[in-house]
Structure 1
């Protein structure tokens, strides 16, 4: 860690927390059960993932508000009613600005910055060294040679340690997300959905260690493409039937226009079928079609509110295309002003 900094509270050392095979389906049900109730009772969350922020600032990027005045990004986001920040973290990332960084030390520092700005924080574990998504679920390189028992031990150690680093920086996350778009499982092939007992064991270990450090923080699992209902159900059925523990179902959807209504219907079905509130943890749309994105965001927020969904997070709205060619952000590269897409938060 940078400068040899001690990143855990005094008296807490990095260690392995051995749960053994029992973790596969039900060990340490720490805080399980009642947390879904306050989550449902909370006001609707409007959020944004801004994990690229430090790397962009290091390259000289900045952000103007809608009036064209340069301002701190968190201040601008709060002006749109955004109260929560989502941050991803990787195990041993590279130094690549767009596809690396986001190690736990950097993530914890940005989480503290968000907290100091008056924002809630969602910490999202990818359980990889770089992007994991609906199509890719690679374990960290250091875990790849491991068998299931060894990987279970590594998972316990990693999540316990990471949560303590977050805690050391004075941040209690409002939510912890275990995995990213895990339709096909995690850390494949060991934790593939085709090996549901092992998949559940790894995710339950992450759940338990999150609760061990943050007993009152709801934990999410995260699935992509709710328009493909069978894919989401395939994971959730396997996870539930093997004793999987979670408090909120996180869903990614970037649907636009006429496709939003069908996705909302499926989201409501997922919520009612599994008895867990849903949260849209990723949203965005073409930077060149901001009014379409604005109207689709409005529709998602209204629809989610209508059936008791918990919130919506815009994914990397600050990510200028010139930074890494990502074309679903919500800031104009030339004026440094937010596009009309952000107005979807104001009108809903």
Structure 2
């Protein structure tokens, strides 16, 4: 019996050493590379974009768990099943929020909570979305060749700043809701699809130059609109762009979410079969007043994304769920007026 116990102890020690050394990877220079999370690559992403958090905290906003206890937002979200944080990046924002330093501060907090990270490049000084894709002021007069270089350099600079702090995002978006391209008018897809594809490729190459393991996401809104997605991704493919993941946004109402989710599933399935891409819902939201419907919407969309063949569905992200009291006029959050999560956030729980 003693010999058996001794053998078991030795086997346990060997297993512990194997796990310990396997969790780190030596770089060519010999430093230990620390990954953003102990979660194995491939774990399904249950995410939240909380890019407003530092600005909200500076304005005195506080957050509370369901019991009314004040807590750090990241802790509250983690207890609701969130394992991944998405952070937007602006080039030179007037108030400083979402610049490189601000993104780094938030990424450190996410990593401290053992959360994975998605970085979202807008390639703008402010919001980039289907209605606006404005060049950063510093890039406004650049010719197209220089513009491509600026996209590459900005991507490299931000990711290098993160990497120097041992943060390697698992995913990186090259553009935000680029339904008609980005960096208008040079990169407007309806005007010049080739230019848009070249800009995507510049971003892709910048990501891979710093972090070859990070997956590059091209993100389009209206995830239920198959014709839009075919137009964009056929155009990108034809013109030599590269990507790893197709990202979608979904913002339905309490009355149409089920139909929109069904259309989204058909679109996601088509993206997998047509391009072989993985698919992620990078943004979702619903009016905070529709929390019960929102919970059902989230659970259903997660199930549909997870149902894609060959585990091609990667995850689902709520956009700024913590924006209570209509922060900045936004009414699609998932926290109530007292700063506590609504039942909508239970959609991320098992």
Q: TM-score range by the shorter chain?
A: 0.7 to 0.9
Mapping for residues 226-305 of structure 1, pairs under 5 Å? 226-255=223-252, 256-305=257-306
Q: Distance in 1 between matches of 2:74 and 2:176?
A: 24
The answer as to whether partners of 1:257 and 1:295 remain within 8 angstroms in 2 is no
Aligned twin of 1:20: none
The answer as to whether partners of 1:65 and 1:76 remain within 8 angstroms in 2 is yes
Mapping for residues 21-60 of structure 1, pairs under 5 Å? 42-60=42-60
Match of 2:220 among 223, 229, 232: 223
Task: Please list the CA deviations of residues 37-72 of structure 1 after superposition, one character each: whole Å capped at 9, or x if unmatched.
Answer: xxx971221000000001111111111111111111
Aligned twin of 1:197: 194
Q: Distance in 2 between matches of 1:170 and 1:346?
A: 29
Aligned twin of 2:89: 89
Q: Distance in 1 between matches of 2:348 and 2:183?
A: 35
User: Secondary structure of the residue that 2:196 maps to in structure 1?
Assistant: helix
Structure 1 gap ranges (5+): 1-39
Q: Distance in 1 between matches of 2:63 and 2:167?
A: 25
Q: Distance in 2 between matches of 1:269 and 1:182?
A: 19
Aligned twin of 2:348: 345
Task: Please list the CA deviations of residues 153-212 of structure 1 after superposition, one character each: whole Å capped at 9, or x if unmatched.
Answer: 211221111111111222111111100011101101111113122211111111111111
The structure having more radius of gyration, on CA atoms, is: 2
TM-score of the two chains, using structure 2 as the length reference:
0.84
- Going from structure 1 to structure 2, the CA distance change for 1:180 and 1:264 (only over 3 Å counts) comes to same
Match of 1:316 among 320, 324, 327: 320
Q: Distance in 2 between matches of 1:105 and 1:131?
A: 18
Q: CA deviation at 1:127?
A: 0.5
Q: Is 1:125 aligned with 2:121?
A: yes
TM-score of the two chains, using structure 1 as the length reference:
0.84
Cα RMSD over matched residues?
A: 1.5
Name the count of aligned residue pairs: 303
Q: Is 1:155 aligned with 2:155?
A: no
Q: CA deviation at 1:342?
A: 0.4
The answer as to whether partners of 1:143 and 1:151 remain within 8 angstroms in 2 is yes
Structure 2 gap ranges (5+): 1-39
User: Secondary structure of the residue that 2:139 maps to in structure 1?
Assistant: coil
Q: Distance in 2 between matches of 1:291 and 1:208?
A: 42
The answer as to whether partners of 1:128 and 1:139 remain within 8 angstroms in 2 is yes
The answer as to whether partners of 2:171 and 2:214 remain within 8 angstroms in 1 is yes
Q: Is 1:168 aligned with 2:164?
A: yes
Aligned twin of 2:36: none
Q: Distance in 2 between matches of 1:269 and 1:321?
A: 38
